Amino acid sequence: MNLSSTKPKPVPTVFVVDDELLLLELAATILSPLGCNVRTFTNPEQALKEFPEAAPAVVLTDYAMGRMSGMDLIRECRRLNPQQKTILISGTVDGEVFAGAAVKPDVFVAKPYDVNKLVDMVRTMITA
């Protein structure tokens, strides 16, 4: 068996987008043990700019972020990659915010969230 011909499995990338720096740091801390490349953004426009090249396995985004909402970000990511896996997190709205939307997140999580449940959701998404 020629071991040099076996390619290492690529490390999945997870985008975490939230305008609250403390929540980004928390997400990076809890998700890094999954063995994924966690990229954090306080600016959804910057995340969208880097989206095509990074090809994240999962986009985890807050809802309320100023000029661009998490739903706007999800819609744009899905325009670029219709199969993009997404998680919408919010402490200000509930699942009704996307009830009539053409594009919906795969999962909605209310803040404050259970850290272990969030890690399990992301683990399931990056291994599916």
Question: Residue 8 has what pLDDT?
Answer: 72
Domain total of the chain? 1
Question: Residue 3 has what pLDDT?
Answer: 54
Tell me the C-alpha distance between 6 and 106, whole Å.
Answer: 33
DSSP E strand boundaries for the chain: 13-17, 37-41, 58-62, 85-90, 107-110
Summarised one tens digit per residue, pLDDT across range 68-119 is 999 999 999 999 999 999 999 998 888 888 888 899 999 999 988 999 999 9
- The mean pLDDT of the chain is 92
Residue 51's domain is classified under what CATH number?
A: 3.40.50.2300
Q: Within 13 Å and on the Cβ side, how many CA atoms surround 64? A: 8
86 falls within a domain: yes
DSSP state of 85: E
7 falls within a domain: no
Residues 46-73: what's their mean pLDDT? Answer: 96
121 falls within a domain: no
Domain that holds residue 104: 12-113
Question: Residue 9 has what pLDDT?
Answer: 74
60 falls within a domain: yes
Question: Residue 85 has what pLDDT?
Answer: 98
